[in-house]
Amino acid sequence: MGPVTILDRHPISDPWLAASVSVPADRCGPPGMANGGWVAGTVAAHLGPGAVQVDLRAPTPLEKPLDLRAADDRATLSLDERVLVDAMRTPGAVRAPAPVDWPAGEAATAAFAGHHDHPFPGCFVCGTARAAGDGLRIFPGPVPGVEGLVAAVFTPHPAHAGPSGRLPAPAVWAALDCPTAWAHLASGEVPLLARLRAEVRGPVHAGRPYLVVAEVMGRDGRKAYGRAGIYDTVGHLLAASEALWIMRR
């Protein structure tokens, strides 16, 4: 699910790291633009471990050379000197909702609303039009009896892992992205990611089952706030996120 324009900051000067990157066409959110979580994780990975906040100022195009610059605790992603993404290291741990039991997670997955009404069925993370090995296929549905809480059980495909079998940071950030939108999403709404703050605490491996849980943290008009967590089968928290979405119709 994609980014939305927000307020500018000044670009980085004298970067210690400068690189050209591009987002593959299959890492899309809305048609024609990159998945916000994938982009956020791509930039955040250059700031090392710990909590990083990423502001998505404008849609990131697919398959175009982009300028990634990082200095100290901040990084930017730009196109033709226009900053699209701004990231900074932040203090404090990122909080996540508590896990649900696995039967509840499996029931929630089966109840995913996107099977019947999806704003972006081609989304890399939650798109129902993506085959196994093509998209992550994370389908967060409502947890029975708990308002504002969604969950999904998913097993990452080896196609999305590196040589070690571990998912790279952009894929983990992407998995933390869409579930917070589905915690809010109503029929006819289009969610656009404005900000994602996340922290990866442990490895997520292909071929192993995981539980993603997301919950509503408040809403102010079109602004929707949520948080999410990825848990392993014994309840260890491997990654957490806090998100700000702009909901449009």
pLDDT value at position 78?
A: 96
Per DSSP bridges, beta strands 82-89 and 74-79 are antiparallel
Q: What is the mean predicted confidence (pLDDT) over 181-208?
A: 95
pLDDT band at 249 (very low <50, low <70, confident <90, very high): confident
Residue 11 scores a pLDDT above 80: no
Q: How many CB atoms lie within 10 A of CB 174?
A: 32
Give residue 30's identity as a one-letter amino acid code. P
Q: What is the mean predicted confidence (pLDDT) over 65-80? A: 94
The 10s digit of each residue's pLDDT in 12-56 is 556 677 899 999 999 999 999 999 999 999 999 999 899 999 999
What pLDDT score was predicted for residue 9?
A: 47
Which of 3-12, 54-63, 84-93, 97-106 has the lowest average pLDDT?
3-12
* DSSP calls for 190-237: EEEEEEEEEEE-S--BTTS-EEEEEEEEEEETTEEEEEEEEE-TT--E
Query: Which pLDDT tens digit goes with each residue over 118-158?
Result: 999 999 999 999 999 999 999 999 999 999 999 999 999 99
Whole-prediction pTM value? 0.93
Whole-number pLDDT of residue 1: 46
Partner residues linked to 229 by β-bridges? 213, 240
How far is Cα 125 from Cα 27, in angstroms, rounded to an integer?
Answer: 8
Residue 198 to residues 49, 57, 103, 117, 131, Cα–Cα distance (Å)? 10, 17, 27, 28, 27
Domains and CATH numbers, the chain: 17-89 (3.10.129.10), 102-248 (3.10.129.10)
Alpha carbon distance 71, 154 (integer Å):
35
Look up residue 88 and give its two tokens.
Answer: 């900074």
Q: Collapsing DSSP states into helix, strand and coil, what is residue 18?
A: strand
